[in-house]
A and B are shown apart, each in its own frame.
Chain A
């Protein structure tokens, strides 16, 4: 089956492990993902806070490009692996459909760039939805060659994927189960995870550290209480917050959580027998090697320590203008 693919900014870098594993899994399942050419940022949760119509226009450029590149005519499917991108793209399409007045204004703006978007031309889907609905658990099960029998996983959906911004969410917004079933299909033990649909704090790490770390702490504690070997996520923001800030949480609260945060596509890939290296393992802050060893997979070599520079300050160099 053919889909348009909108990776979003995170998957280019920060969440490249998600992108790589998604591509491997898609190929194994004969899913054809055509990346939207020259897509732009969806604005995350920031643009809407500043300016409404440009925020809708920014998102709509992507919808217009995707619809144009996939051929107008019957409704096309656009896949977004990032929860925030998924929400922004699907919500915008819905708001444009519901309000001809808004659609008209957005199209006037798009016309300044020679583009047009007919609301409803695309159906925006999250990657998890494609795997559980279009591919289905049976077809996934057929591909499993290395079942994840010894892993205890906490399935973490985060906030945006299952919220009913679209009229028919593909899973229950309060207590979703599709990721649970998918992980069970791979042979893993799925632990109860009551906070599974709670927010990871989003951009709050940048604004009020204590508020953010408390939100992350609760999520880690909940998984630790159920002795999960790893938390399974489907969003780059969730992965970043729980993984890169886990150390900060431990320092801030005097805890010692050590739970790897993995993308669901990485686990599907492992069960399909794909090598951890191809699935982007080794880029996580909290080492996934102990979890990999439990299922007999070979962890990739560790990332090298950067050579200390005599001149550089201990922070990333500022960007150069191009």
Chain B
């Protein structure tokens, strides 16, 4: 959390900390590199979490928000459980995703599809209260990887054949209640949302 007593204008670092729930401990990062060394998708990231955090401190806003790294984060919390400084790395990655979406910066990264996957997923959740794999796969892949759709067809058929996939979504009874709650949360949300 930012200290309300800082007289200077908020830096990019302050913004990231303020948009992260609870204590991010970002200021405690000692640049040890344990996070990057632990990350399962680290080899495909533009910047390791450690590098990204140094860039945040350096105020390299655009480079950070354009990095593909947050989108390669699969939220496995491995780095977080190993970080000697208890930096909430996974939460900070989520914060960077939200900021990159808000500012449209993700479009310049090499992982530009990822937010749309997340967006399509939550559209179904907001409409039905449950996730819906067929709808998600169909809508997301048709708009992003129509060729993959053909590649994926055998798997989709396999899922159907084994009774592991529904053709229609399930809607919860309290969908109106859920939508009212989400609408209110968005209204209160403010900064990070």
Chain A residues in 8 Å Cβ range of B165: 13-14, 316
Contact across chains for B133 and A13 when beta carbons are under 8 A apart: yes
Contact across chains for A114 and B177 when beta carbons are under 8 A apart: yes
Q: Return the chain A residue nearest B190 by Cβ.
A: A53
Instruction: List CB contacts (< 8 Å) of A166-185 with chain B.
Output: 173-174
CA–CA, A139 and B150, complex, Å:
49
Q: Which one, B19, B133, B149, B152, contacts A14 given CB within 8 A?
A: B133
Stretch at the interface among A118-126, A253-261, A303-311: A303-311
Check B156 for interface membership: any CB of A closer than 8 A: yes
Contact across chains for B149 and A40 when beta carbons are under 8 A apart: no
Q: How far is the CB of B76 from chain A (nearest CB, A)?
A: 3
Count residues of chain A with CB under 8 A from any CB of chain B: 82
Contact across chains for A16 and B164 when beta carbons are under 8 A apart: yes
Q: How far is the CB of B39 from chain A (nearest CB, A)?
A: 9
Q: Return the chain B residue nearest A164 by Cβ.
A: B81
Q: How far is the CB of B34 from chain A (nearest CB, A)?
A: 12
Instruction: List CB contacts (< 8 Å) of B137-168 with chain A.
Output: 137-138, 140, 148-150, 152-168
Instruction: List CB contacts (< 8 Å) of B39-71 with chain A.
Output: 40-41, 44, 71
Q: How far is the CB of B109 from chain A (nearest CB, A)?
A: 12
Q: How far is the CB of A5 from chain B (nearest CB, A)?
A: 16
Chain B residues in 8 Å Cβ range of A74: none
- The proximity string for B residues 164-175 relative to A, scoring 1 for CB distances below 8 Å and 0 otherwise, is 111111111110
Q: Which 9 A-B pairs have the closest CB atoms?
A: A199-B76, A159-B76, A112-B184, A109-B185, A57-B185, A113-B177, A202-B74, A163-B77, A46-B118
Interface on A for B, CB 8 Å cutoff?
9, 12-16, 38-41, 43-54, 56-58, 61, 87, 95, 98-99, 102, 105-106, 108-115, 159-160, 163-165, 173-174, 197-199, 201-204, 206-211, 215, 244-245, 247-248, 282-285, 303-306, 314-320, 322
A selection of 18 A-B contacts at a CB cut-off of 8 Å is: A13-B165, A14-B159, A38-B174, A41-B125, A45-B74, A50-B97, A51-B192, A99-B21, A109-B182, A113-B178, A159-B76, A204-B41, A207-B117, A209-B148, A211-B44, A245-B155, A319-B134, A319-B169
